[in-house]
Amino acid sequence: MISPRLILASASPRRAQLLAQLGFDCEICPQDIDESRWEGESPASYVSRMAREKARSGSTQLLDLTGVLIAADTVVSLGDEVLAKPESPEQAEDFLLALANTTHEVRSAVCVVASDGNSSLTQIGEAVSLTRVTFCSVSRGEARRYWLTGEPQGKAGGYAIQGLAAAFIRSIEGSYSGVMGLPLFETAALLKKAGLDCLPPMEAWEQ
């Protein structure tokens, strides 16, 4: 039984699934924050700030608990342009066509905060994974058909690496789970630092 309680400051089912892959059950606690990008803010600074602000927002719910909160954000960028979640079929098609035959960057930031249950919070740390994703050629017809699957909706950059978009991805350099939304290597390291180890203790095997 893993303790203390683990709270995920996100509504993303993919992040919850990735935590489950590490053996963690989590409580879903999405945060409503202003996700506007500041003028001149780089994709790297933006994704880190979003993760920190989600953690700061969610931390108030930790004050009376013994628990750990994890916040994360993912940003897809092509140069300095950030490709957010598409707001229309046309924008989703434009995103996919812009990514075609290019290499873009996906950054996922993770921020972890712990509480001892006595209104004392500890900033465990934060980490950012950087992954370079290379797409093959994509026609407008393919982009339109991809939108009709429903998969691009609600996805940063307008695609899901774990879904049908895999057919467009020639190669990745970095973290596959990071592109999904939660880099597991960095996440496991931060959670271990907070006292949550994904590997069972030796005693569990000796019984």
Residues with active-site annotation = 73
Cα–Cα distance measured from residue 98 to residue 164, given in angstroms and rounded to the nearest whole number: 18
Is residue 4 reached through a cis peptide bond, with omega within 30 degrees of 0 on the bond before it? yes
Least Cα distance to 6 among 107, 57, 20 occurs for 20
Least Cα distance to 190 among 14, 1, 6 occurs for 6
What does the block give as tokens for 202?
A: 């030796």
Three-state SS for 98?
A: helix
Burial class from Cβ neighbours inside 10 Å (0-12, 13-18, 19+) for residue 180 reads: buried
